[in-house]
Structure 1
């Protein structure tokens, strides 16, 4: 088995974009690949962070695939291979398990990749570009990923600031929440909005200095307002998040006092450096203010917890990987079983064992003898 990988580890975004495959392209390329006599199976995995081609075939299959991939993507082969990470035999199987389990992801342990692998595998299966080896590897890799998700807390331990903020909102006391985001179209504002968008009981309003119609078209449940009118919406807001690059406060105590009248409990979250929200707003009463340091502390704490879960996940992966490698190795041995059986029929057992002693090196002989010892002690 082979794997050619172009990922965030080897290539910048502009290069990964050149190697990306649409679904129909993945089908076309895989069908083209197995029409080559050197290649027996092919599956393409294409996400925003990686494009990977998994395949099996003859000894020169790798050379053929490198040429085919560069031709299909219209990239000079010498230029393309600079971004390749090549995995062969056992390393390719191990890489497939690591990718499917989220152990090779930018955010370790994320489980979105499992769905992406499942879709890629299903596509290849439906178009008959996989066979015994890729079927065995990816079916077992997906089962391994599910086992890691079930037996560890890896995917349940958030570390990104955006996810941690979203979780804080979900756990805020009220069932129905009005959320106001200052800096809606900024990087952090967009991440948080996507994390909470269309969640039951959450109404999102956001301010931006430049009102953009595409936001409301793409996210029709989000109300976009002019930044200059932001204070007008703070009375109704239960949660206010500010994440801008403004050199001045986006919310001050004095202005806020003039615009909120009810004494309901409110949560204010300031993710900016320097601060967006005047710390004195807490003096108004019933306002809890969290800043970026609070969430970075949570992130470090969760990262530490996640490290332990990653180690547990790796242990599970190694166990499942070992079982799969055994299955594949035995499958490769099946064509030789008749010859071995015939050998024992024509020569006695002792003669064959002495031949092994004379032909094999110490390491190989030890493995065989240990296997026979274990067989000899089993009842």
Structure 2
């Protein structure tokens, strides 16, 4: 049975955040999901890796071709979603298209922020997790190693990452639209991961009045807060202190909202119509969507920020053509490698068959010498025996073939068994 490279999933282009958050997988659930995938399909899925970020959830696998039709149903069932609700948002790629998709994702060409570098690190984390789960084999290992190499080549030979307008920078600009001068604003960051760190860096450059970091693990909050001379607080204190802040940026791995409608509504009453900018970068979302309907609340999801940053990508679009050309070449190289792998078993069988013939004829020659036959006669018989067995396969095929098949064989025999004329 042949093995294909398959990729399927959904991203910020194919699905809104309300759908993406339903299939998003935190890091600690990736391994169980991979195990569940392989168990569901048995030996039909040989290798697998799962990439899940706020903008995409994708499955990469080396599997038998029929698996491609069944993967969407598995994803829906695994996440307890009706298949019909998920199907319109899914894409599926096989073979060369799957390889091209992986190369484009790692190079930042498929990102909400064109050319953003974070996705490469996220993909490396996904590969590391798959390796720990024991689900990487020769095919996916080679695919991802070449993926990382292509991403490096694209970033070094094009300007795809130049003039980047990041999500963090976009959050600052949206807050400035409401408050103008940020020097008198009080900021709250919920979470202590990479995205919160990026946002804190951008907001700190505006020299706000104060910054506070809230996180489930207080030690991590303190580590981040120390970098920006910020304060820390417990998540449990949010209901009592929410009204103190003008800008709230949240990005945690919580599976449930941290800020609900009731909590925010109470905070707005205490603030007496002073606005709050709330930036929710989490998937699943940290802030209930209904919060955005409140007066004086400016709520932005990760998709809202994505639309904002699109206006800043024109300077990089010229580099896309060059990047796509690099990727096309590398896809061809990878597919050639895959095709050459398919020939390996045939070559191995030919070598084994030839070795068996060699051993058989050599054993016959040794027995003849032991019986006292002349070395010259034995060598002649050895050469004759090897030649006959060498020619037996193609001659028998020609003799048994019908007219149409014989024409094809007559074309291929000189290429597989060159004659003296063809070698001139």
- The TM-score, its normalising length taken from structure 2, stands at 0.53
Query: C-alpha offsets along residues 213-263 of structure 1, whole Å, 9 cap, x if unaligned?
Result: 959x96743589998xxxxxxxxxxxxxxxxxx9xxxxxxxxxxxxxxxxx
Query: C-alpha offsets along residues 26-53 of structure 1, whole Å, 9 cap, x if unaligned?
Result: 1011122223232111110000000001
2:143 aligned residue:
137
Give the length in aligned residue pairs.
Answer: 274
Query: C-alpha offsets along residues 105-160 of structure 1, whole Å, 9 cap, x if unaligned?
Result: 11221111000000000110122111111111111001110121222222132246
Q: 1:109, 1:78 → 2: CA distance?
A: 33
1:52 aligned residue:
58
From 14, 29, 32, give the equivalent of 1:10.
14
From 330, 336, 347, give the equivalent of 2:394.
347
1:19 aligned residue:
23
For the aligned residue pairs, the C-alpha RMSD in angstroms reads 4.6
Q: 1:203, 1:313 → 2: CA distance?
A: 35
1:291 aligned residue:
none
- Between structures 1 and 2, the one with greater helix share: 2
2:268 aligned residue:
none
Query: C-alpha offsets along residues 312-336 of structure 1, whole Å, 9 cap, x if unaligned?
Result: 2222222222211111111122223
Q: 1:333, 1:355 → 2: CA distance?
A: 25
1:95 aligned residue:
101
Quote how far apart the aligned CAs of 1:102 are: 0.9
Query: C-alpha offsets along residues 190-211 of structure 1, whole Å, 9 cap, x if unaligned?
Result: xxx9657458x9572248xxx9
Q: Secondary structure at the match of 1:347?
A: helix
2:128 aligned residue:
122
Q: Secondary structure at the match of 1:5?
A: strand
Q: 2:51, 2:73 → 1: CA distance?
A: 18
Residue 206 of structure 1 contacts residue 222 of structure 1 at CA under 8 Å; is this kept in 2? Answer: no
Q: 1:344, 1:151 → 2: CA distance?
A: 51
Quote how far apart the aligned CAs of 1:59 are: 2.8
- Give unmatched runs, 5+ long, in structure 2: 173-180, 189-195, 232-242, 247-272, 274-309, 354-388
Q: Secondary structure at the match of 1:155?
A: coil
Match status 1:326 vs 2:329: no
Residue 10 of structure 1 contacts residue 83 of structure 1 at CA under 8 Å; is this kept in 2? Answer: yes
2:111 aligned residue:
105
Residue 158 of structure 1 contacts residue 164 of structure 1 at CA under 8 Å; is this kept in 2? Answer: no
- Cα 1:312–1:197, aligned 2, differ >3 Å: closer, same or farther? same
Match status 1:149 vs 2:152: no
- Give unmatched runs, 5+ long, in structure 1: 167-178, 187-192, 228-245, 247-298
Q: 1:28, 1:94 → 2: CA distance?
A: 27
